[in-house]
Structure 1
């Protein structure tokens, strides 16, 4: 009688573990779908960052021109900071895109 209980218990455990093992396959499909969804947003996000960089560049150009026209002594500092900001946006977008895709 005791042997039958042990056999029944081991059989039940084997069935439970087997069903858990089969359930793991669906998790992989979900992770792959989530990865595809995240990577599909990178192209529009990269284009958005490039557009923001262009706007920042135009605003910076106008500010530097105004400072240069008024004879401000720190024009080169302002130009370098705006130029650096534009370069950072472009490089950051490119590096993020290449890193994640």
Structure 2
């Protein structure tokens, strides 16, 4: 089990290292601003919803780049990759809408 985890970590590191430095810096800049946005409105519960929307946007951008690279490399599972990105974005948007209602925050 531990060997499988090590292989997954190595594969993730290899994938990250294949992404260009400019894209990595953009991702770090975007993710670095998210905690600052979440802390700026300490008592406002809508900050969590905005945070989910921001994460969905980052996932959409990274997913679009990933799909573009897969299409240029003529990979086999492009449709699967597109479905996964769209599903992740829809889940984040639905969670941003449903979770506050579930916990009675916006009641």
Q: TM-score under structure 2 normalisation?
A: 0.54
Give the structure 2 partner of residue 78 of structure 1.
81
What is the aligned counterpart of 1:45 among 28, 48, 61? 48
CA RMSD of aligned residues (A): 1.1
The separation in 2 between residues aligned to 1:90 and 1:98, in whole angstroms, is 13
CA offset digits 1:41-77 (Å, max 9, x no partner): 4200100110000000100000011001110010000
- Tell me which structure has the larger Cα radius of gyration: 1
Runs of 4+ in 1 over 4 A off after TM superposition: none
- Partners of 1:75 and 1:93 lie apart in 2 by 27
Question: Where do 5+ consecutive residues of structure 1 fail to align?
Answer: 1-39
Choose which of 96, 100, 103 in structure 2 pairs with 1:97.
100
* Structure with greater contact order relative to length (CA < 8 Å, sep ≥ 6): 1
Gaps of 5+ in 2: 1-42
2: CA distance, partners of 1:43 / 1:86: 18
Q: State the aligned residue count.
A: 62
- CA shift, 1:96, in A, is 1.3
Q: Which residues in structure 2 correspond to 1:5-84 (within 5 Å)?
A: 40-84=43-87
CA deviation after TM superposition for structure 1 residue 83, in Å: 0.8
